[in-house]
Structure 1
Amino acid sequence: MFNAFSALLAEKVGFKAVYLSGGALTSSMGLPDIGLITLTELADAVRKIKEVTDIPLIVDADTGFGESVNVYRAVRVLEEAGANAIQIEDQVMPKRCGHLDGKEVISKDEMVFKLRAAIRARRDALIVARTDSRAVLGIGEAVNRAKTYLEEGADVIFPEALTSKEEFAEFAREVEAPLLANMTEFGKTPLISATEFREMGYKYVIFPVTIFRVAAKAMKEALQVLLEKGTQAPLMELMMTRKEQYEVIKYNFYEQLDKELSKYKQKNP
């Protein structure tokens, strides 16, 4: 998900945790996911989400905003903002979407330094170590790096852009750790269900840009209808009603709070 409203929706339909996707967040800002946004902007997005919901939040911190000392500060800032888990990846800056060609990875040792900084900085947040090495150095090196990252204290291992169900199964057999799978669309990974991932041994499955892509297409089609027809009449059945919208944002809670506070003011002028 990519903002507070989408996090509230996820909580309302029954999800137990949410993932603040760098790809979805940057797209919502009109920017590509290549490390352009700042730590301050990411922390602000985290705070806005945690202001309105207590649902556990995994935050995509890309490469950690620099070298090891930058990672240290990033983890401190993001955890203070409300992150329950923080993901750091082993790409070279400027990073690329993990499912695009042409990305590069830093050395294993450099990533180890970053993980040590992250673990030293965190108080209670989980550290998710993502490796993008499959596409650059092969599945064997992805397994090798994952084992090292686990030994260094990573809480969760995230193998990015594996290319088949067989690769995911092989990775899970080789790496005994809490594993996270990325089930994004239009990338290197074929569509695999959460049930299939669970059966292979993956504890977490993220769908990082799914709802953004669905919403983006719906918004584009709605704008075309408005432009061409000058009315929203054909769109009414596709809309969340005002009542449903207000239920998500807890409008009645604030309305009732205002009434209660007004009564208190009248009694205590």
Structure 2
Amino acid sequence: MLHSTVPAHVKRRLFRERLATGELLRLPGAFNPLSARLIERKGFEGVYISGAVLSADLGLPDIGLTTLTEVAARGAQIARTTDLPALIDADTGFGEPMNVARTIQMLEDAGVAGAHIEDQVNPKRCGHLDGKAVVDDTTALRRIRAAVDARRDENFLVMARTDIRAVEGLDAAVDRAKALVDAGADAVFPEAMRTLEEFAAIRAAVDVPILANMTEFGKSDLFSVDQLRDVGVNIVIWPVSLLRIAMGAADRALDALLSEGRLTELLPQMQHRAELYDLIDYEGYNRFDSSVFDFDITR
């Protein structure tokens, strides 16, 4: 009821312990707090909070227009609703190294388990668009060192994302990944890898967990969990998938209203009221106050 019963520091510790086993952890992207709770109920190992989803939710393109305050607030809303660890997209850290340090501490306060900081030039753009630019080695490493130095909980995962593959090629991505780990990164997110062999090359280059981004309509093929596990990937995210599916369903429902004037034919595709109330845990609130949940939701 109300909040997760697992404190943030415990979520972080358990997340680190699971990563240390070498197993592959599946983190679907939660587009709101309720979807995070559904991800937990289905049995996934964590939730991902995408900057692209947050910007889209605000009606904005993913080009660095969202603020640290907005990202931290959404992170807190999602983290509080689930016992799962949440990994959040912190873009370029919202400024220079001092800003990166503040970003990490605010995200710690929000209750998430970790964040990734990328090496794009600020303002950034979606990692699967053409025309990206990345910062030089010195700037990229300063961002990660600032993030590591700023955290107060040693189990808060500082992940370094590098977008250099699309700009300078795989060899540059391997070299950048090594340097980011040397700077203190706990994990590496090599963005826009094109093949399983490229993931394998990053895996061979670093001794920390690596993440695969399985976003639709992007630069990477949509590899299966088994394929990614076989090349040593430790975390896989589907950052925008649930939002895309939900918006596709909304689009079709609005078309049905225009053409049919009702949604009767779409009822089998909807989450039932009873399922929604169960996910929200109305009965848990009723145990606290019997006047809250005193109605029939079976119809």
Q: TM-score, normalised by structure 2?
A: 0.85
Q: How does 1:91-102 map to 2 (within 5 A)?
A: 91-102=120-131
Indicate the residue corresponding to 1:266 in structure 2: none
Counterpart selection for 1:135 from 166, 174, 190? 166
Counterpart selection for 1:168 from 184, 196, 199? 199
User: Residue 87 of structure 2 contacts residue 114 of structure 2 at CA under 8 Å; is this kept in 1?
Assistant: yes
Counterpart selection for 1:37 from 66, 83, 100? 66
User: Residue 40 of structure 2 contacts residue 83 of structure 2 at CA under 8 Å; is this kept in 1?
Assistant: no
Q: CA separation in 2, counterparts of 1:35 and 1:222? A: 31
Alignment of 1:242 onto 2:273:
yes
Indicate the residue corresponding to 1:265 in structure 2: none
Q: How does 1:243-258 map to 2 (within 5 A)?
A: 243-258=274-289
Counterpart selection for 2:240 from 209, 217, 220? 209
Indicate the residue corresponding to 2:226 in structure 1: 195
| Letter matched to residue 123 of structure 1 | R
Counterpart selection for 1:84 from 106, 113, 122? 113
Alignment of 1:230 onto 2:230:
no
Indicate the residue corresponding to 1:219 in structure 2: 250
Q: CA deviation at 1:260?
A: 8.5
Q: Which has the higher contact order (CA 8 A, sep 6+)?
A: 2
| Letter matched to residue 126 of structure 2 | C
Q: CA separation in 2, counterparts of 1:52 and 1:206? A: 19
Post-superposition CA distance 1:103-158 (Å, at most 9, x none): 00001110111111100111221001000000111111111010011111110101
SS at match of 1:48: helix
| Letter matched to residue 146 of structure 1 | A
| Letter matched to residue 285 of structure 2 | Y
SS at match of 2:80: helix
Q: CA separation in 2, counterparts of 1:11 and 1:200? A: 26
Q: CA deviation at 1:170?
A: 2.1
Q: CA separation in 1, counterparts of 2:49 and 2:80? A: 14
SS at match of 1:177: coil
Instruction: Mark the CA change 1:12 to 1:134 in structure 2 (over 3 Å): closer, same or farther.
Output: same
Post-superposition CA distance 1:45-75 (Å, at most 9, x none): 0111122222100010000000100000000
Counterpart selection for 1:70 from 96, 99, 112? 99
User: Residue 177 of structure 2 contacts residue 202 of structure 2 at CA under 8 Å; is this kept in 1?
Assistant: no
User: In the comparison of the two structures, how many residue pairs are matched?
Assistant: 261
| Letter matched to residue 34 of structure 1 | I
Q: CA separation in 2, counterparts of 1:154 and 1:171? A: 14
Indicate the residue corresponding to 1:151 in structure 2: 182
Identity, % of aligned positions: 49
Q: CA separation in 2, counterparts of 1:130 and 1:236? A: 41
CA-based RMSD of the aligned residues comes to 1.3
SS at match of 1:140: helix
| Letter matched to residue 81 of structure 2 | V
Q: How does 1:116-127 map to 2 (within 5 A)?
A: 116-124=145-153, 125-127=156-158
- Any unmatched runs of 5+ in structure 1? 262-269
| Letter matched to residue 86 of structure 1 | A
Q: CA separation in 2, counterparts of 1:254 and 1:213? A: 31
- Any unmatched runs of 5+ in structure 2? 1-29, 293-299
Q: CA separation in 1, counterparts of 2:83 and 2:92? A: 26
Q: CA separation in 2, counterparts of 1:89 and 1:8? A: 27
Counterpart selection for 2:85 from 56, 75, 89? 56
SS at match of 1:247: helix
SS at match of 1:259: coil
| Letter matched to residue 61 of structure 2 | P
Q: CA separation in 2, counterparts of 1:148 and 1:260? A: 58
